[in-house]
Structure 1
């Protein structure tokens, strides 16, 4: 009873830990020792870090990175992210509707580009802090696609893009030519990739096939508003970012996650699908759809990414990806399908 009055430092428990353990061990080949070690305090921070900073915390705060207001932490070794699920309808949908299909999908499609969620934590009882929104009550642990970026010590050369179809109605951008919303808000809308992904035909087909399988799964689950998280960085010398702790065979099997080299050998790309927690059939989504539909009876802007239909979103999403890769008729001999530099 006393725990109900907690405002902060809420007790978190693992949700369906055996299912996530099986995924880590059998599908993603993450050893228990390596996974546990990522969440331990790091005692081997290299010098010349000041002595008082030699013992790095197990989790490093990254602030609020997403449009939803979620807060992020990363493990001290940079391998995993911890993301809060602040919206009640999102974590309830993921826990009670999407999680089981997600687990089945990952078992049946080991090469899936859905971000790998390695654990789900929740507060197992009501608390005043949770009800008042003072402290998030649900978190997911997931892979960090930028693992190794700090080790290279040159963050400028790494480019990240959070991509969604841009031909939807974005009120912050489209109403009054964007003058009604501050630039800080508009900057958190979908990014624009100023180039094309120039890779081999084999790698292009692999990407399109994987994304088609994953987005079909999401559409059948009534999910909208997911995004393609793209990382691009120059292929210059031996980079720790490239040399993740997997064998060459494992990296080839997971090429788009671990790095695909461009056809000219100059760039390396990484890709995952993020933020698949917005369900079209949930009450909030239905209310938003009703508001936007009523508004469009005279404004005519069309649907938003959170109010359209799931298979229509998939169609536009795949069309966006097709534009990113273009024809890609590059010579297969210019580069292999994965980064092995």
Structure 2
């Protein structure tokens, strides 16, 4: 069985298995020598079950059925951080590995309780809904050498419905971050260089305006202000607004499906004021905590790089308050305002 097939099997088994991760000593010793195979289990399942059942009102059986398959679907190539990506066969959920210890340890130990509390108080939060966190409770050679990832987040797939849409090829996605920063990830990668193909995907541009009513815009900005306040409080930078738009033509006839859960307007879809598009938006990639060792080490490295190159402000060396300010300003500029010129501007953005 190949690497991806092993990861897929382990994820599906963890979702369905109530095992608490305990094994006999001999099995534990033998497991340590595994290189490709891995065993995963749910981390703090009570927290995520409360979020799914009570806060987001997921249909429990529907959620389970999404993982009632023989395999998951690998999607795309490795990301810049080395992450692996899968979707469920019904495309409702996306599974992403977190290979960096600074990121998965931060979320598990420092952010999870704050995230769960924020979601409980703000059920329509646009932080992406993380529905499960899977980890390997025992170490093995494969995970130590980062051959097989030992930590995975299961989250909503904001592109759900694309496969059922006869205009699916016309869906557009934008991973947007403040253009006022320089993004050194394109040149420095924590000790390794990414391929040119991966680097090219780091740059998104949105060459249009988001056209919605003032009320709809205010709903988005107010929610992003609340969500980014949480991220500032836990000292996170480098998150992004994942913006999706797809043609509104015949949208009723196409009956694009939704996940059976509590809806929120910008998550389900907002129709543009000119009737051309449906917009969706969530916040992604909120795992880069400024105080973690990897982030601090990269800050020192990149500041040295910046001293020589003079590239200016950088996304991962700034503080959380400044990043939040520029993030909200970036989102504000995406909207079309009354009496504003139709002249287009490019908003260069990077995905980490």
TM-score (norm 2): 0.82
Q: Does 1:318 align with 2:328?
A: yes
In the other structure, the counterpart of 2:258 is 244
1:28-87: CA deviation from partner (whole Å, max 9, x where unpaired): 11121010000012xxxxxxxxxxxxxxx4411113353212111111111001111111
In the other structure, the counterpart of 2:5 is none
In the other structure, the counterpart of 1:88 is 101
**Among 185, 189, 205, which residue is 2:202 paired with?**
189
Q: Bigger CA drift: 180-189 or 136-145?
A: 180-189
1:303 to partner: Cα distance: 3.1
Tell whether the 8 Å contact from 1:25 to 1:31 is kept in structure 2 after alignment.
yes
1:291 to partner: Cα distance: 2.0
Once residues 311 and 141 of structure 1 are traced to their aligned partners in structure 2, the CA distance between those partners, rounded to angstroms, is: 28
SS state of the match for residue 152, structure 1?
coil
Once residues 72 and 339 of structure 2 are traced to their aligned partners in structure 1, the CA distance between those partners, rounded to angstroms, is: 44
**Among 92, 103, 121, which residue is 1:79 paired with?**
92
Gaps of 5+ in 2: 1-28, 341-352
Tell whether the 8 Å contact from 1:162 to 1:229 is kept in structure 2 after alignment.
yes
Tell whether the 8 Å contact from 1:74 to 1:82 is kept in structure 2 after alignment.
yes
| Residue pairs, 1:1-341, within 5 angstroms | 1-41=29-69, 57-64=70-77, 66-171=79-184, 183-237=196-250, 238=252, 240=254, 242-244=256-258, 251=263, 254-327=264-337
1:230 to partner: Cα distance: 0.6
Tell whether the 8 Å contact from 1:17 to 1:119 is kept in structure 2 after alignment.
yes
Once residues 207 and 255 of structure 2 are traced to their aligned partners in structure 1, the CA distance between those partners, rounded to angstroms, is: 23
With CA pairs under 8 Å and 6+ residues apart, which has the higher RCO, 1 or 2? 2
1:229-254: CA deviation from partner (whole Å, max 9, x where unpaired): 1110110112556442559xx54xx0
Tell whether the 8 Å contact from 2:59 to 2:260 is kept in structure 1 after alignment.
no
SS state of the match for residue 118, structure 1?
strand
Once residues 155 and 65 of structure 1 are traced to their aligned partners in structure 2, the CA distance between those partners, rounded to angstroms, is: 23
The count of aligned residue pairs is: 307
1:115 to partner: Cα distance: 0.2
SS state of the match for residue 168, structure 1?
coil
Tell whether the 8 Å contact from 1:164 to 1:190 is kept in structure 2 after alignment.
no
Tell whether the 8 Å contact from 1:91 to 1:138 is kept in structure 2 after alignment.
yes
Q: 1:64 to 1:182 in 2, by over 3 A?
A: closer
1:161-180: CA deviation from partner (whole Å, max 9, x where unpaired): 111112212346689xxxx9
Q: 1:171 to 1:239 in 2, by over 3 A?
A: farther
Tell whether the 8 Å contact from 1:168 to 1:304 is kept in structure 2 after alignment.
yes
Q: 1:182 to 1:130 in 2, by over 3 A?
A: closer
SS state of the match for residue 325, structure 1?
coil
1:303-341: CA deviation from partner (whole Å, max 9, x where unpaired): 3211111111111111110000142689xxxxxxxxxxx
Once residues 59 and 196 of structure 1 are traced to their aligned partners in structure 2, the CA distance between those partners, rounded to angstroms, is: 36
Once residues 241 and 255 of structure 2 are traced to their aligned partners in structure 1, the CA distance between those partners, rounded to angstroms, is: 20
Gaps of 5+ in 1: 42-56, 331-341
SS state of the match for residue 52, structure 2?
helix
Once residues 29 and 269 of structure 1 are traced to their aligned partners in structure 2, the CA distance between those partners, rounded to angstroms, is: 23
SS state of the match for residue 218, structure 1?
helix
